[in-house]
Amino acid sequence: MPVFLDTRDEGFEAEFRRLLTAKREDSPDVDDTVAGIIADVRARGDSALCELTERFDRMSLTPEGLAISRDEVDAEIAKVPAEDRAALDQAAQRIRAYHVRQMPEDARWTDPEGATLGWRWTAVAAAGLYVPGGTASYPSSVLMNAIPAKVAGVERLAICVPTPDGAINPLVMYAARVAGVDEIYRIGGAQAIAALAYGTETIAPVDKITGPGNAFVAAAKRRVFGRVGIDMIAGPSEILVISDGTGDPDWVALDLMSQAEHDESAQSILITTDAEFGRRVGQAVEARLETLERRAIAGASWRDFGAVIVARDLEEAAALSDRIAPEHLELCVDDPAPLSERIRHAGAVFLGHWTPEAIGDYVGGPNHVLPTARSARFSSGLSVLDFLKRTTLAQMTPEALAAIGPAAERLAAAESLEAHGLSVTARLSKLNCGPE
C-alpha cells in the first residue's frame, strides 16, 4: 500500500522527510567494474568492445560489425508500420518546432569606456547519444536526444544502442533516421560510453555524451566527465500530481501509473486538497492495477514509493511540491496558471486536466529528458543549450584600456601576479608616450 499522509497529522513532517529521502535505487557500486571496462576499451579499442558486447549482450561481433550499416537501417525501417512512422514524424516535427525556439542569441555591444564586449554561441562538433537497449529502448528517447543536437548544429551525431541477443528495434532505427543521426553502433553499457569518450579504431571520439542508462552507464558517464561533456545522471522517473479535487480520479490514476509502469523504482505522488478525491484516486489506481500489462512493475512502484498527501490548500501543495522538486508535475486544476506561478523547482509542468504527462513523453514538444531525484533544484531538462557552448569576447581600445587598466594593475598586485599587471602596464606606458 502506498503512503497516505495528511499535512494536518502530527507526524506529517517526519513522514514527508522519509518520503523525500527514501532511497529508491539500489545504486550498486559498480564503479570499480566500470573503471576496468573503461581502461580496457582505452587500451584495446574495438577488440575490447567486441568481447564486452559478446559477454553482456550475448552476440558475437567483429569491428566491421560494430556499426549498424545504412542498409541494415533501411531493412529495419521497412518493418515499421506506416501509422507508427506517421506518429513519429508528427512527434519529431513538434519536438523540433519547440527546440528551435531555444536557440540563444549572440551579443555584442560597446560600453561607455569604449570596450567592445559580447559572446558567441557555437555548436559542439560531435555528440554521442546513449539509447538504452532491451525493453527500455525507446524511439522517443532518440528523438528527444538527437533533435536538440541537430537543431544546435552538431555535425556528427553518433548513437550507441545495445542490441541484446542481436535484436534491433526498428522504430529506434526510424527515429534515428528522422532525427538525422549520422552513425549508429550496436554497443551499450560502460563500454559504449568509453568508446564515445576515448574513441576506438572504428569509433571516433565525441565531445559530448547525453542520454539515460543503467547504473553502469551512469557510473561511466561520471568517470568520463571532464574528458567530454555529459548531460546528467538520470535516476528513476517520477511524477507529482497536484489536484484540487476537480477532474476525473481515473485520469489522475492513469497519469500516476504512466510513471509507475516505467520502473519498480519510479515514484508517483498525488497531493490533493480534497481527501475524498485522494481516496477515489487510490481506488482507481487499484482498479487499473488489476488489468495493466505492466501491473507487476507499476504495482511494486506504487506499493513501495507511491504516496497520497492531503494538503490544506494549493499554496501548501505548491510548497510541498517545491521540496520534492519533481521531474514531472501535473497541475490538475481548472485554472492552472496561478498555481503554476507558485512552482519554482520542477523539470516539466503539465497544466490542466487535458495535459497528461504522457503527451510530454512523445509529442508535446518539450524535452522528456528531465532532472530526477530532486535535481530540478539545480538543473534543467535537455535542450539545445546542452549542445552549444559560449565563447566570450572582449576588445579594448587604447582609451578603454586607459580607463580600466589601472584597476587591473591594482588587483594583479593585490594577488601577487606581477606578469598580469605588467601586461597592462607595458601597454599603458606606450600609450602615455603618445603616438610614435
DSSP string of 326-373, one letter each residue: -SEEEEESSSHHHHHHT--S-SEEEESTT--HHHHHHTSSS-S----T
| Contacts to a second copy from residues 101-140, by CB under 8 A | 101-102, 104, 107, 109, 111, 115-117, 119, 122, 124-125, 135, 138-140
Rounded distance, CA 29 to CA 216, Å? 9
Relative to beta strand 388-395, strand 116-123 is antiparallel
From 214, 84, 100, select the one nearest 149 (Cα to Cα): 100
Min dist. Cβ of residue 119 to a second copy (A): 7
> Site for a second copy (CB under 8 A): which residue of 33, 47, 214, 340?
340
Rounded distance, CA 82 to CA 80, Å? 6
Q: Could you tell me how many residues make up the chain?
A: 436
Q: Does position 432 bind a second copy by CB under 8 A? A: no
Taking CB under 8 A as the rule, which mask of x and - marks residues 276-295 in contact with a second copy? ------------x---xxx-
C-alpha torsion angle, residues 152, 158, 161, 162 (rounded to 10): -160
Closest CB to a second copy among residues 50, 147: 147
Closest CB to a second copy among residues 67, 117: 117
Residue 361 labelled as part of a binding site: yes
From 146, 166, 173, 147, select the one nearest 78 (Cα to Cα): 173
Relative to beta strand 267-272, strand 238-243 is parallel
Residue 283 labelled as part of a binding site: no
> Site for a second copy (CB under 8 A): which residue of 280, 349, 432, 436?
349
From 161, 139, 270, select the one nearest 213 (Cα to Cα): 161
Min dist. Cβ of residue 214 to a second copy (A): 15
DSSP string of 116-145, one letter each residue: EEEEEEEE-SEEEEE---GGG--HHHHHHH
Q: Does position 167 bind a second copy by CB under 8 A? A: no
Distances (CA, A) of 117 to 105, 112, 393, 404: 14, 11, 6, 14
Residue 93 labelled as part of a binding site: no
> Site for a second copy (CB under 8 A): which residue of 267, 336, 339, 384?
336
Active site residue 328: yes
Q: Which of 99, 328, 353, 368 is catalytic?
A: 328
Of the listed pieces 55-63, 181-189, 195-203, 256-264, which binds a second copy according to CB under 8 A? 256-264
From 43, 44, 48, 50, select the one nearest 64 (Cα to Cα): 50
Taking CB under 8 A as the rule, which mask of x and - marks residues 208-237 in contact with a second copy? x-------------x--xx-xx--xx----
Closest CB to a second copy among residues 59, 115: 115
Q: Does position 238 bind a second copy by CB under 8 A? A: no
Closest CB to a second copy among residues 53, 141: 141
- CA 12 to chain centroid: 32
Q: Which of 327, 330, 353, 368 is catalytic?
A: 327
Q: 143, 175 in Cβ contact below 8 A? A: yes
Min dist. Cβ of residue 299 to a second copy (A): 11
Q: Does position 257 bind a second copy by CB under 8 A? A: yes
Q: 187, 66 in Cβ contact below 8 A? A: yes
Q: Does position 373 bind a second copy by CB under 8 A? A: yes
Min dist. Cβ of residue 400 to a second copy (A): 7
Residue 368 labelled as part of a binding site: no
Q: 299, 264 in Cβ contact below 8 A? A: no
Q: Does position 394 bind a second copy by CB under 8 A? A: yes
Residue 420 labelled as part of a binding site: yes
Active site residue 327: yes
Min dist. Cβ of residue 352 to a second copy (A): 5
Min dist. Cβ of residue 90 to a second copy (A): 4
| Contacts to a second copy from residues 15-74, by CB under 8 A | none
Q: Which residues are catalytic?
A: 327-328
Instruction: Give the annotated binding-site residues for substrate.
Output: 237, 259, 262, 328, 361, 415, 420
Instruction: Give the annotated binding-site residues for NAD(+).
Output: 130, 191, 214
